[in-house]
């Protein structure tokens, strides 16, 4: 924690060793694979030049979290690519002449892998961190606007962090979510720009995803977006608002036997999601189930 506090002194852009970053799976899932591969090929062919667009990172506000490294706000894809390259370099057998010669071709990449230009600032907690992520997604032209699913996953992560915080009073899950949404809608510049706020319609869809799906189903949905951008994936906002997909929902057939057989259970929901994703994978990318 002392090292991170020292880094906060002086200029906002600092040069940070790559091992000080917390490179873990993002709360809303990995970036699409094609985006990741495009970044890697760009580094391999053009070299690493991060000084023009530094990584944005946050220093955690608590000692326990600071021990795990810096939070990445902007630049997770670039840092993960650099870590992948570094790991391959470290695994190279330097006694093998051919392997060493191959490393010479990546001279432009190797030089930029170790020390990372970084914009540093401090963040109080996980909820504030997720708010910064969402704010950047709305504000930054290079990012996609967050989908309903990504919004739900981010707020679910904030809810989990709040539940573990002894300073936060215990409250029902739905009320906690509403509190977090209210805090986000009043967070910094979001308060003055209505189109960046979470609308009531989006809140309804988020509640349906968080409280109406199982952890396994959300993981299936998240993994699908690892390989497909939102505009090319099998989901739509309207589809995720459909109540028939969510737990304990049943059709109004008027026949008790059929109602009991057709109610959505954790098992049936998982099977339905697996079938949707499988059908989508067999068809053209632009065809939604």
Best CA proximity match to 251, nearest among 234, 238, 241, 263: 263
Residues 102-123: tens digit of each pLDDT: 777 677 777 777 888 888 887 7
**Nearest-angstrom CA–CA distance, 123 and 22:** 14
**Nearest-angstrom CA–CA distance, 83 and 114:** 9
Domain-wise residue ranges, the chain: 1-123, 126-212, 222-289
Residues 21-35: tens digit of each pLDDT: 888 888 888 888 888
Residue 265 has a CB neighbour count (10 Å cut-off) of 11
What integer best gives the mean pLDDT of the chain?
A: 79
Please report, rounded to a whole number, the percentage of residues in the chain having pLDDT higher than 70: 87
Q: Which of 201-210, 266-275, 280-289 has the highest mean pLDDT?
A: 266-275
Angstrom distances, CA of residue 168 to CA of 127, 151, 172, 270: 12, 22, 12, 33
For residues 196-208, average pLDDT: 84
Residues 50-104: tens digit of each pLDDT: 777 888 888 876 545 555 678 888 888 888 888 888 887 777 777 787 777 777 7
Q: What is the pTM of this model?
A: 0.72
Residues 244-271: tens digit of each pLDDT: 888 888 887 777 787 788 888 999 999 9
Which range, of 94-98, 150-154, 204-208, 209-213, averages the lowest pLDDT? 94-98
């Amino acid at each position: 924690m002392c090292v991170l506090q020292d880094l906060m002194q002086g200029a906002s852009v600092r040069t940070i060793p790559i091992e000080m970053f917390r490179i873990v799976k993002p709360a809303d899932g990995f970036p699409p694979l094609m985006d990741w591969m495009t970044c890697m090929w760009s580094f391999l062919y053009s070299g690493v030049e991060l000084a023009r667009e530094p990584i944005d990172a946050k220093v955690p506000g608590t000692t326990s979290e600071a021990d795990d490294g810096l939070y990445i706000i902007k630049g997770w894809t670039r840092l993960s690519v650099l870590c992948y390259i570094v790991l391959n370099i470290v695994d190279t057998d330097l006694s093998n002449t051919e392997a060493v010669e191959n490393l010479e071709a990546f001279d432009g990449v190797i030089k930029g892998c170790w020390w990372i230009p970084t914009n540093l600032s401090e963040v109080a907690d996980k909820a504030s961190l997720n708010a910064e992520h969402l704010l950047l997604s709305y504000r930054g032209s290079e990012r996609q606007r967050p989908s309903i699913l990504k919004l739900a996953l981010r707020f679910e992560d904030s809810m989990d962090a709040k539940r573990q915080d002894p300073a936060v009073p215990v409250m029902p899950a739905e009320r906690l979510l509403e509190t977090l949404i209210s805090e986000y809608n009043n967070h910094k510049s979001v308060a003055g720009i209505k189109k960046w706020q979470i609308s009531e319609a989006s809140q309804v869809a988020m509640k349906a995803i968080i409280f109406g799906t199982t952890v396994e189903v959300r993981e299936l949905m998240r993994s699908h977006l690892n390989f497909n951008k939102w505009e090319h994936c099998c989901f739509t906002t309207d589809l995720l608002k459909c109540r028939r997909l969510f737990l304990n929902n049943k059709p109004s057939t008027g026949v008790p036997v059929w109602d009991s057989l057709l109610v959505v259970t954790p098992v049936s929901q998982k099977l339905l999601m697996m079938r949707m994703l499988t059908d989508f994978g067999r068809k053209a990318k632009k065809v939604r189930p």
